[in-house]
Structure 1
Amino acid sequence: MKVLLISSLAPSLLTFRLDMIKAFQRHGHEVIAIAPEHGQQWEEKFKALGIAYYAVPIARTGMNPLEDLGTFLRMIRIIHKIEPDIVFAYQAKSIVYGCIAAKLTGVNRIYALVAGLGSILHSHRKSSIKTIIVKLILKTQYKLALACCKRVFFQNPDDKQAMSTMNLIREEQPSLIHGSGVNLTIFSEQPLPEQDVFLFVGRLLRDKGICEYMEAAKLVRQQYPQARCLVLGPFDTNPTAIPKHELERFVEEGAIEYMGATDDVRPYLQQCSVLVLPSYHEGTPRCVLEAMATGRPIITTDAPGCRETVVDQMNGFLVPPKDTAAIAEKMIWMIENRERLRWMSQQSLRMVRDKYDVDKVNQVIMDTMQIQPMEAVKYVGGDQRL
Structure 2
Amino acid sequence: MIKLIRTSTIPESMNILLKGQLKFLGEFFDITAISGENSYLEELVERENVQVFPIEMQRKIAPVNDFISLIKLYFYLRKVRPTIIHSITPKAGLLSMLAGKMAGVPIRMHTFTGLIFPTRTGFMQALLIKMDQLLCWAATNIYPEGKGVESDLKKFKITTKPLKVIANGNVNGIDLDYYSRKEINDDVTELLKKELHIEKDDFVFIFVGRIVGDKGINELIEAFIGLKSKKSKLLLVGTFEEELDPLQKGTYDEIQRNGNIITVGFQKDVRPYFSISDVLAFPSYREGFPNVVMQAGAMELPSVVSDINGCNEIIVQNENGLIVPSRNVEKLRAAMEQMINNKENYLKMKSNARKMIEQRYDRNFVWKALLDEYNRLLVNEKINPNV
Name the TM-score, length of structure 2 as normaliser. Answer: 0.86
- Deviation for aligned residue 1:264: 1.4
Which deviates more, 158-167 or 70-79?
A: 158-167
Q: Could you say if the C-alpha distance between residues 5 and 271 of structure 1 is closer, same or farther in structure 2, counting changes exceeding 3 Å?
A: same
Q: What pairs with 1:98-247 in structure 2 (closer than 5 Å)?
A: 98-118=96-116, 121-123=117-119, 127=121, 132-176=122-166, 177-180=168-171, 181-189=173-181, 195-220=202-227, 223-236=228-241, 239-242=244-247, 246-247=251-252
Matched, 1:357 2:373: no
Shift in Å at residue 202 of structure 1?
A: 1.1
| Kept after mapping to 1: 8 A contact 2:23/2:50 | no
Report the secondary structure of 1:174's partner residue. Answer: coil
Cα–Cα, structure 1 residues 18 and 346, in superposed 2: closer, same or farther, change >3 Å? same
Contact 2:144/2:163 (<8 A) preserved: no
Distance 2:147 2:242 in 1: 28
Q: CA-to-partner distance for each residue in 1:267-300, whole Å, 9 max, x for gaps?
A: 1111111001011221111100000001101101
Q: Distance in 1 between matches of 2:306 and 2:250?
A: 26
Change (3 A) 1:178 1:297: same
1:287 alignment partner in structure 2: 292
Number of matched residues? 361
Inter-CA distance 86–162: structure 2 relative to 1 (3 Å threshold): same
Distance in 2, Cα, partners of 1:284 & 1:194: 33
Task: Give the structure 1 partner of residue 381 of structure 2.
Answer: none
Q: TM (normalized to structure 1)?
A: 0.86
Kept in 2, the 8 Å contact 1:189–1:349? The answer is no
Could you tell me which runs of 5 or more consecutive residues in structure 2 were left unpaired when the two chains were aligned: 190-199, 379-385
Distance 1:362 1:250 in 2: 39
Tell me the distance in 1 between the aligned counterparts of 2:246 and 2:364.
33
Contact 1:366-1:372 within 8 A present in 2 as well: no
The one-letter code of the counterpart of 1:35 is S
Question: Are the structure 2 counterparts of residues 42 and 316 from structure 1 closer, same or farther at C-alpha, using a change threshold of 3 Å?
Answer: closer
After superposing the two structures, state which structure 1 stretch, 6-15 or 137-146, moved more. Answer: 137-146
Distance 1:245 1:331, change over 3 A: closer
Identity percentage of aligned residues:
23
1:331-361 Cα deviation digits (max 9, x unpaired): 2222223343222112111210011111112
Find the partner of 1:273 among 263, 273, 278. 278
1:346 paired with 2:351, answer yes
The separation in 1 between residues aligned to 2:294 and 2:345, in whole angstroms, is 20
- The answer on whether the counterparts of 1:281 and 1:306 sit within 8 Å (CA) in structure 2 is no
1:13 aligns with 2:14: yes
Give 1:366 shift: 2.0
Aligned counterparts of 1:166 and 1:337: Cα–Cα separation in 2? 40
Tell me the distance in 2 between the aligned counterparts of 1:226 and 1:116: 36
Offset of residue 320 of structure 1? 1.1
Matches within 5 A, 1:332-343: 332-343=337-348
| Distance in 2 between residues matched to 1:160 and 1:200, nearest whole Å | 26
Task: Determine the C-alpha separation between the residues in 2 that align with 1:95 and 1:231.
Answer: 30
Aligned to 2:5: 4
- 1: distance between equivalents of 2:40 and 2:319? 42
1:94 equivalent in alignment to 2:89: no
- In 2, Cα distance between the equivalents of 1:108 and 1:314? 44
Partners of 1:139 and 1:327 lie apart in 2 by 30
1: distance between equivalents of 2:16 and 2:376? Answer: 22
Provide the residue aligned with 2:312 in structure 1.
Answer: 307
Check conservation: 2:302, 2:350, Cα contact below 8 A: yes
Q: Does the CA-based 8 Å contact 1:56-1:75 persist in structure 2?
A: yes
1:295 and 1:301 map into 2 onto residues whose CA distance is 19
**Structure 1 279/260 Cα, relative in aligned 2: closer, same or farther at 3 Å?**
same
Q: Distance in 2 between matches of 1:75 and 1:293?
A: 38
Which residue number in structure 1 is paired with residue 76 of structure 2? Answer: 78
Alpha-carbon separation, structure 1, partners of 2:280 and 2:165: 29
Q: Residues 244 and 30 from structure 1, CA distance in 2 versus in 1: closer, same or farther, beyond 3 angstroms?
A: farther
Superposed CA RMSD in Å reads 2.5
**Deviation for aligned residue 1:245:** 7.6
Is residue 218–residue 256 contact of structure 1 (8 Å, CA) maintained in 2? no
Unaligned runs of 5+ in 1: 374-384
Q: Say whether the 8 Å CA contact 2:107–2:377 is kept in structure 1.
A: no
